[in-house]
Chains A and B, each alone.
Chain A
Amino acid sequence: MSIQFKTIKELSLMLEKKDISNHELIEETFNLVDKYDKLNAFITLNKENAIEKAKALDNKSSDLALSGIPIAQKDLFVTKNLRTTCGSNILSNFIPPYSATVIENLESSGCISIGKTNMDEFAMGSSNETSFFGNVNNPWGANLVPGGSSGGSAAAVAAGIVPAATGTDTGGSIRQPASLCGITGIKPTYGRISRWGMIAFASSLDQAGPMARTVEDCAILMNQMCSHDSKDTTSLDEAIPDFTKNLNKEIKGKKIGIVKEFDLSKLDKNVVKVFEESKKHYESLGVEFFEVSLPNISLSVPTYYVIAPAECSSNLSRFDGVKYGKRCENPKDLEDLYIRSRSEGFGDEVKRRILIGAYVLSAGFYDAYYKKAQQVRRLIKNDFDDAFKKVDLIMTPTTRGPAFEAGSMSDPIEMYLEDLFTVPANLAGLPGISIPSGHVDNKPLGLQLIGNSLQEDQLLNVAHSFQKTTDWHLKTPDMEINS
């Protein structure tokens, strides 16, 4: 029985009914990994360990929520005794001595980690073209990018290799690849999921989340991934609801805001058409639309490209070739060791961002850039606070268009604008979800919903209502043609 493209819910049922053994499920998953190795979705596999765990489950059944479910882990989460590279040469030999809290949470709920997914180096990129381990291909078309930075996770789910994968989202790194690969991905409220063991990029923006085939599976995963963690001082100490509980609630009368300042007329007309159709669909479900104004939203990307590089330049100073990671050959003195280890260890995009960060934090520029960006960040957050007095959710396209060709976007700023619609939620710490909402030129496209702080259950409810009444999330790529 084929397991390709199955959801967590379907696989759990198959295991429960003994249509497939735990061992067979994992073996079959690795067969799919091999079959689609051209996607380059994985950096490191966890085969031996995964099969061993599955065999153990066949011998001794468990009643854990996600017992036996194969899952792919973004290579940004440290995994005990399993190589963790963050897509970088500088960590290409790094075997962590501990696991991230998210990994522990998922594994202790019965998930089997089958491997580490490819990603933009240190999560800096929107096309998965900055990985030291090579580009990831989008299952929807030869030479198409999967988006980034969680490109390997998105491709592995879109290809139906695994029902779900973990991702992280600093400026759109879950939602943008979810949109480009035709899957579902949610970035929860900042602080919902522990950052302990997530290799830090921009600490005030980074947030982990699930990527899966359906909203329902994302809710199931959220239940396991979220926790208060004393090891992360920014981890929220708030009650964690059962995220599956309100999925099927009536959404009639919900108020959704459309952002006045996002001028969609600049987008491809087919992209706008997909968005307008989603709106119409929601209207048919009884949702009411209102125009909302977020006056400072156009400054989101410039704000982000001060704050994120500033935090990155600080966070990445820990990679110095001394304590772990790669060291250059024959350093002549300590300074040479630092400079050459870092210059050889980091790729171009990472270096570019470190330099921007060093510049905006340097004496004389700190107030003009870093402080200014933090002030604008507050203005943007205030805009959202005002908007959520009028509406329950805000809806935008997730991306400006569908997947583009690898190598076609060489201007860094063009690439940065890829996150136009996703960055604001990170700046304000709000939850955002991307769901498949249509196709343009046979390529999938996502719809983004942004909720108020801590209101993931409402976000999931409204997104799930879309999936109950449409079939975009059920479409699968024809990889025989595309490979």
Chain B
Amino acid sequence: MMAAAPRIGVITFPGSLDDRDAIRAVGTMGGEGVALWHAEPDLRGVDAVILPGGFSYGDYLRCGAIAGHAPILDAVRAFAERGGPVLGICNGFQILCEAGLLPGALIRNASLRFICRDVFVRAETSQTPVTCELVAGEIVEIPVKHGEGQFVATPEQLRAIEEHGLVVFRYVGAGGEVNDAANPNGSLDNIAGVRNEAGNVVGLMPHPEHAVDPDLGPTGGQSLFASLLASVLAGASG
């Protein structure tokens, strides 16, 4: 018997922009996208949660700061504590950091300018719900688009992040080189995405939902969504 398509919730905050895009990408990859609303503390029984990109609440305080206190975040926190897969993309990553679910913080790009372009990122671990179909060291091409994507952390935090293997993606050149030229925003250690200690909560600045449709450009996001769907199915059967 075919398993039912995994239901992936996508939260819309006021100011979310890539929420429809994330739902469409989930559908393209064979899942069912479920729209969730910031003011309702109910995840509607979804198998995984995506916090999409955008400028939640205008990002007027700090990126993600207000959304970090939205009613639905309590439900997300409880879901994450039970081991549910949670993916924050761009503004969603910022929100997860503000909510204390991920280490580090995101500040203005080193250039002080918004940047929208395709980048290469290298998966540093396959031990997350969004990289389980990748092998560590695999490079995928995905666009970034953000003004505040510079990943920063205290020296102690950074050491812990690196030692505990919490880096999920790093910005690299096409050949895998880790250098400043490959780093679009000045992030510490070229970090493009991190996970929590348990591994079920992941945040990344690149936008995999904008890299699943071959008509539109690179398709490096496909393997991330394939991973997320596979990890849900594996969780259901296990």
* A and B together in one complex: no
